[in-house]
């Protein structure tokens, strides 16, 4: 068994013709039935199947043949299935208005004013029946093929409804059923297209060509031909096509497509830049490191396009119900005919229940939110995490790099010898100039920020973990810990600074204690407001978990008015997450995505912050925030709850509508013509309701 696992191959197959969840289920069943296929996921939004299979038992042509037998097309070229984006907001509104107006026209003008009755009298019945059969043949053929494959589809029910209408001589009713077969199919295709829209909008941001320098010449080539180590030239107004390092040039970049942050960023020699970033001014020569799907942006698109694989419980219930829904309708139709002997009423039952709205109610809303969130720098890996996020009551947070900037800064300089703080800082910076310790960097940055002149140092000496010595302007300067400078142990000012959770450096000049420098990691400025918003949103418990010492943890926690646990190992954090889960609570863990990876994976929803460019962090978390901005965390809760509200509205609307329609049809109140028109409305309602989630202008918080 282990050998078979090793030999498994992964294959992505583009598939055309899928319109709703029912279609993806048919394709999945067809591929999964093949010997040698271990697993298969079919994605409606990206129109593809991802198959893990044993090549010794099954081949690509056999898989493609199975898809085609299921009634769907496999493009001969993978490129033909690539996403293209066309703005659709105006088209969506026009489409909704047109279909609704057409339904009203059929119901009012055709049925209530008796136009269909007159048409039935004027046109000879054989001619009408022939017209219905010819017009409906493509759909009838699909229904028959599905039946032969032992599948029941919405077209199967509508075909039965049309045949029943023809059988009792109501050819006009049969014609209206055929017309709305096509209307329903169009709605389903358009609805699926709307689910793809946000992902297509992302894909459209990637340049399709690149200007590459080869043999001293600049040539434009398709992005698929760019290789790692190629030199790419990007000019003003162009988008960067690759991930890479700037070799020369200077430019102002808009990286909002990656991080969702509109603030311009300056790129200079040595900067790492990302594909899809816009060069607003300047130009760059970039050494390519990653291309296509391997870029950070490519990975984001891939994760978002495959997010529907992670279905939430609500969606799984809807999928299971959809599998039984059509047989239930057949049963209701059978009972209607058994008790009423009314073939038209039976036909109406079959026709009115043909909508795919139950299967569409959840995924359309989920995928709309996932796609739009990705454009704001939030990568959500599936509807499952949206659903759980909406139910969460506990938020656990890491300290370093999550609540804080992740970089120590000098906060206090306390003179002990009468010299000014700036003089003392300049001496400390001179001694620390050649040290690689993070605190040395903090000292140098503080001196640079103040514009101090840093004198040269000679006879530099470093003792790992203790401190440094150097000769500066003829004096012996020592900077280090209390263990390095033992005479500083009993300084009262040091005890006060330690109580605040700060890390101390001691400065001695010619052996005499001269200053205490305190450093701490700075709290992100937006954290306090973000935590306040989380409490307002109903989060009952927020707690700090850190591997830092008790003093630092409590100092940070007191600022934020939350409890804290310190000196934690990764396994300790996992145990805390499990303890909350054992109480039945849904737990969110927020970390930096690297050292917190185990706890992020254990949490019901793991959120990694500021992970642009970090493959490990993007893979570790269930949700990745591509920029370091705590305001995105309460935004996430709002997105999740708003999405679940839309899903609940979709499901309630669909359930009530179908129950009402089936009841009227079974009682003979709803004729087949109106039933055919009515079956298109649930899909339309779900599309209109879910489309609200595509509106990026509805800000979730004031940023």
- Catalytic amino acids? 398
d(CA 479, CA 465): 12
Contacts of 550 (CB under 8 A, 6+ apart): 566, 567
d(CA 594, CA 620): 8
Tell me the backbone φ, ψ of residue 606, rounded to 5 degrees. Answer: -100, 125
Tell me the backbone φ, ψ of residue 210, rounded to 5 degrees. Answer: -140, 145
Q: Are strands 394-397 and 231-234 parallel, antiparallel or unpaired?
A: unpaired
Q: Are strands 394-397 and 587-591 parallel, antiparallel or unpaired?
A: parallel
| Residue 237 burial (10 A CB sphere; 0-12, 13-18, 19+) | exposed
Q: Please choose, from the candidates 476, 467, 504, 502, the residue with its C-alpha nearest in 3D space to the C-alpha of residue 489.
A: 504
- Phi-psi bin for 459: left (phi > 0), alpha (psi -120 to 50), beta? left
Exposure of 425 in the CB half-sphere (CA atoms within 13 A):
26
d(CA 460, CA 468): 7
Q: Please choose, from the candidates 393, 460, 390, 406, the residue with its C-alpha nearest in 3D space to the C-alpha of residue 429.
A: 460
d(CA 444, CA 17): 62
Contacts of 135 (CB under 8 A, 6+ apart): 175, 178, 179
| Residue 196 burial (10 A CB sphere; 0-12, 13-18, 19+) | buried
């Amino acid at each position: 068994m282990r050998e078979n696992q090793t030999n498994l191959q992964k294959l992505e197959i583009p598939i055309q013709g899928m319109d709703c969840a029912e279609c993806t289920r048919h394709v999945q069943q067809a591929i999964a039935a093949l010997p040698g296929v271990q697993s298969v996921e079919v994605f409606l939004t990206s129109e593809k199947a991802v198959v893990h299979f044993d090549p010794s038992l099954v081949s690509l042509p056999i898989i493609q043949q199975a898809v085609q037998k299921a009634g769907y097309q496999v493009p001969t070229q993978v490129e033909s299935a690539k996403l293209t984006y066309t703005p659709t907001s105006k088209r969506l509104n026009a489409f909704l208005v047109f279909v609704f107006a057409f339904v009203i026209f059929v119901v009012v003008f055709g049925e209530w004013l008796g136009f269909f009755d007159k048409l039935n009298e004027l046109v000879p019945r054989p001619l009408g029946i022939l017209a219905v059969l010819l017009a409906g043949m493509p759909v009838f053929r699909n229904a028959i093929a599905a039946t032969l494959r032992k599948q029941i589809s919405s077209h199967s029910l509508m075909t039965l409804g049309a045949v029943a209408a023809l059988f009792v001589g109501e050819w006009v009713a049969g014609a209206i059923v055929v017309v709305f077969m096509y209307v329903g199919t169009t709605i389903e295709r358009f609805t699926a297209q709307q689910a793809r829209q946000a992902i297509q909008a992302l894909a459209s941001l990637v340049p399709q060509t690149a200007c590459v320098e080869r043999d001293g010449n600049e040539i434009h080539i398709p992005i698929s031909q760019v290789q790692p180590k190629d030199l790419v030239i990007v000019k003003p107004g162009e988008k960067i096509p690759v991930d890479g390092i700037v070799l020369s040039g200077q430019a102002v970049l808009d990286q909002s497509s990656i991080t969702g942050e509109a603030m311009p960023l300056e790129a200079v020699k040595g900067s790492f830049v990302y594909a899809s970033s816009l060069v607003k001014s300047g130009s760059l020569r970039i050494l390519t490191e990653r291309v296509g799907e391997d870029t950070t942006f490519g990975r984001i698109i891939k994760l978002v396009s495959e997010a529907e694989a992670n279905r939430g419980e609500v969606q799984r219930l809807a999928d299971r119900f959809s599998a039984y829904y059509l047989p239930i309708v057949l049963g209701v139709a059978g009972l209607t005919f058994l008790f009423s002997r009314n073939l038209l009423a039976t036909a109406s039952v079959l026709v009115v229940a043909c909508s795919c709205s139950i299967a569409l109610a959840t995924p359309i809303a989920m995928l709309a939110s996932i796609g739009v969130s990705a454009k704001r720098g939030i990568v959500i890996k599936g509807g499952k995490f949206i659903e759980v996020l909406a139910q969460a009551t506990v938020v656990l947070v890491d300290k370093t790099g999550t609540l804080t900037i992740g970089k120590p800064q000098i906060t206090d300089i306390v003179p002990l010898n009468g010299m000014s703080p700036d003089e003392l800082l300049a001496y400390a910076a001179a001694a620390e100039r050649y040290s690689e310790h993070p605190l040395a960097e903090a000292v140098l940055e503080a001196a640079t920020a103040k514009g101090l002149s840093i004198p040269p140092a000679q006879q530099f000496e470093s003792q790992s973990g203790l401190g440094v010595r150097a000769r500066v302007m003829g004096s012996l300067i020592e900077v280090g810990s209390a263990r390095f400078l033992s005479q500083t142990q009993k300084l009262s000012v040091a005890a006060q600074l330690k109580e605040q959770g700060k890390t101390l450096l001691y400065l001695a000049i010619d052996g005499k204690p001269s200053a205490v420098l305190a450093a701490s990691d700075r709290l992100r400025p937006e954290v306090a407001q973000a935590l306040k918003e989380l409490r307002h949103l109903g989060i009952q418990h927020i707690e700090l978990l850190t591997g830092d010492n008790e003093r630092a943890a409590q100092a940070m926690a007191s600022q934020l008015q939350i409890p804290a646990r310190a000196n934690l190992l990764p396994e300790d954090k996992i145990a805390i997450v499990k303890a909350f889960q054992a109480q039945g609570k849904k737990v969110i863990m927020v970390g930096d995505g690297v050292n917190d990876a185990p706890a992020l994976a254990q949490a019901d929803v793991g959120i990694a912050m500021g992970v642009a460019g970090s493959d490990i962090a993007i893979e570790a978390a269930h949700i990745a925030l591509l920029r370091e901005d705590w305001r995105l965390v309460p935004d996430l809760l709002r997105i999740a709850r708003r999405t679940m509200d839309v899903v609940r509205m979709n499901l309630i609307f669909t359930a009530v509508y179908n129950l009402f329609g089936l009841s009227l049809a079974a009682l003979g109140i709803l004729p087949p013509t109106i039933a055919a028109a009515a079956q298109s409305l649930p899909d339309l309602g779900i599309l209109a309701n879910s489309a609200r989630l595509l509106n990026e202008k509805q800000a979730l918080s004031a940023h």
